């Protein structure tokens, strides 16, 4: 059964510095979310589609994200997704690259290996401070009327 309790962020026992670091990292990830998520999705898509179409698709998805990313933040979702991306990005990239090399697609294989390093360039940069403040408000770290 689905439970929202599994998606709550619990900062009990964390220092202010640790919470601030968490907020900053989640804000960076949220700012470039399409590129961040592409680290685990793009290498798999390289198997089925030409690599340039996948990268172009991620870039095109990131353009509307540049506007939407400031409208809402979901810290619980961001918290869980970061674990999945961090745990699986290198196994997915290496596995996809091996598959692509064996199927005579060396360019796609090399790009699959480089996706975690290139992902940050697939989404135009954003204002991380604004997103960080929204995250801090949504988890109750700062008052709702706080401003930058």
Name residues whose C-beta falls within 8 Å of residue 135's C-beta, 6 or more positions apart in sequence: 23, 26, 27, 30, 73, 75, 78
Of 24, 15, 20, which Cα lies nearest the Cα of 131? 24
pLDDT at res. 8: 63
Question: CB neighbours (10 Å) of residue 133?
Answer: 19
Q: Quick check: is 7 in a domain?
A: no
Tell me the H-state helices in 49-103: 51-68, 75-102
Domain count, the chain: 1
- pLDDT confidence of 10, banded at 50, 70, 90? confident
Q: Quick check: is 60 in a domain?
A: yes
Q: Quick check: is 47 in a domain?
A: yes
Structural domain of residue 124, as residue ranges? 16-138
Q: pTM of this prediction?
A: 0.82
Q: Quick check: is 145 in a domain?
A: no
- Residue 133 CA to residue 97 CA, distance in Å, equals 38
Whether the pLDDT of residue 25 is over 50: the answer is: yes
């Amino acid at each position: 059964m689905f439970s929202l309790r599994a998606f709550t962020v619990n900062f009990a026992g964390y220092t202010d510095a640790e919470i601030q670091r968490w907020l900053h990292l989640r804000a960076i990830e949220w700012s470039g979310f399409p590129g961040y998520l592409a680290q685990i999705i793009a290498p798999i898509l390289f198997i089925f589609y030409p690599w340039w179409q996948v990268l172009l698709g991620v870039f095109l998805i990131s353009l509307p994200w540049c506007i939407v990313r400031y409208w809402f933040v979901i810290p619980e979702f961001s918290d869980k997704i970061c674990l999945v991306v961090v745990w699986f990005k290198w196994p997915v990239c290496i596995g996809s690259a091996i598959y692509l090399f064996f199927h005579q697609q060396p360019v796609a294989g090399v790009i699959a290996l480089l996706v975690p390093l290139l992902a940050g360039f697939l989404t135009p940069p954003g204002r991380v401070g604004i997103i960080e403040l929204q995250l801090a408000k949504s988890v109750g770290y700062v008052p709702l009327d706080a401003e930058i």
